[in-house]
Amino acid sequence: MAEDTQTFDTSHLDIDVDIPRDIDEMSLPDIYVGLDIDLLAPGDGIVTDRHHASADRYEADDPQNQIAGQISPFTLSGWLRHGCERVLQEAGATACHPGNASADYMLKDVYERDLDAGYHEKGSCVEDDDAGCVIHDLFGGFNDRAGRVIRHPVRFSPIRRQVDVTKGEAEAHYRQLNTQVRSRNAEDDGQPLRQATRDVVGNLVGTWRLTLREVKPEYVGLLVEAIDYLDAHSDEFDMQLGGARNFGAGVVDTEIVNPLYTDAELRRVYNRAQAATSGMDTKDEVWREQCRDEFVRALQARTAARDGDLPMPATRTGGESA
């Protein structure tokens, strides 16, 4: 409608992709990943402001404490990347290996084994001026080229009015869990050997903001598919978030927040006092029925162009979706 709308560049794809909304009608280049996590224990992936908190608020193990902080993008990034790799692998393609071939691996042959199981050597896809795989684009390869998706940290606070979901923030409650490491020697009768503390956040609800440095439809397609995959497989050990999964942490309910929403609508999603408007319902329908599949078709075309064994998606005919 407006004169200077920014449209999607699809010239590099071998098929016609018809996304019925322009870039500036979406939250792009930002994409919001909705997160709902009962308990998250990402090892050292939590930084808190507790040292700045006044003495009467500094009760690290008190669930009612007022401690805010950040969850590292590294923890989140590994989880997202894993989902992206699975999407490509289940489609029959291979993904860039996350590690360098020359790195030291504890187990001999582990890299070789991975190369037989859905990975290609990191960066091998960009040799000979090849365009590279989508994983390489999004997450970066070697130091000279940063990934096309910027993964921000998630700031959290236990105080809901201080949380701005349009900035990629979440309501969450930090505390330290004390766990006892007990002796397994029968003679010790299970007596505690030492105390271990770990940082956790509980009841995390909010958004993780991703920003595309370059908006290509196949990037959106891969992120959308990866988040759906992670959500559908959230109870699988491999797809959980953070390190300490052994006591039930890291199960993530997740979704891409409809990119057609305005900031006000995005806030409304996380405002328990307000229901979705009819405008939001309409946008959900447009996203589901007209936009989402087109982004995924762009991903399929890009993947098929790299891997000749995969079929190029069919051209849409008369608005019928395949």
Stretch that binds Zn ion, among 20-28, 90-98, 171-179, 245-253 (CB under 5 A): 90-98
DSSP secondary structure letter of residue 119: E
Closest approach, Cβ 296 to Zn ion, in A, equals 19
Contact call for residue 138 and Zn ion (CB under 5 A): no
Count of positions on this chain that bind Zn ion (CB under 5 A): 4
Closest approach, Cβ 123 to Zn ion, in A, equals 7
Contact call for residue 222 and Zn ion (CB under 5 A): no
CA distance 248 to 243: 11
Cβ–Cβ < 8 Å for 149, 211: yes
Side chain identity at 184, as an amino acid letter?
R
Contact set for Zn ion, span 117-136 (CB under 5 A): 125, 133, 136
Dihedral pair phi/psi, residue 105, rounded to 5°: -115, 140
Closest approach, Cβ 142 to Zn ion, in A, equals 12
Cβ–Cβ < 8 Å for 170, 204: yes
Stretch that binds Zn ion, among 16-24, 96-104, 167-175, 231-239 (CB under 5 A): 96-104
Contacts of 32 (CB under 8 A, 6+ apart): 165, 166, 168, 207, 208, 209, 210, 256, 257, 259, 266
Residue 28 CA, distance from chain mean position: 16
Side chain identity at 37, as an amino acid letter?
I
Cβ–Cβ < 8 Å for 115, 97: yes
Residue 145 CA, distance from chain mean position: 20
Closest approach, Cβ 76 to Zn ion, in A, equals 21
Cβ–Cβ < 8 Å for 303, 91: yes
Closest approach, Cβ 240 to Zn ion, in A, equals 25
Residue (133 or 205) nearer to Zn ion, CB: 133
DSSP secondary structure letter of residue 245: G
DSSP secondary structure letter of residue 60: T
Region of 87 on the Ramachandran plot (φ > 0 left; ψ -120 to 50 alpha; else beta): alpha
Closest approach, Cβ 115 to Zn ion, in A, equals 12
Stretch that binds Zn ion, among 89-97, 175-183, 192-200, 217-225 (CB under 5 A): 89-97
Contacts of 245 (CB under 8 A, 6+ apart): 237
Residue (146 or 314) nearer to Zn ion, CB: 146
CA distance 108 to 97: 16
Residue choice 23, 96, 220, 239 for contact with Zn ion (CB under 5 A): 96
Closest approach, Cβ 95 to Zn ion, in A, equals 7
Residue (96 or 204) nearer to Zn ion, CB: 96
Stretch that binds Zn ion, among 95-103, 145-153, 258-266, 291-299 (CB under 5 A): 95-103
Closest approach, Cβ 306 to Zn ion, in A, equals 9
Residue (136 or 175) nearer to Zn ion, CB: 136
Binding mask 269-298 for Zn ion (x = CB under 5 A): ------------------------------
Binding site residues, Zn ion, CB under 5 A:
96, 125, 133, 136
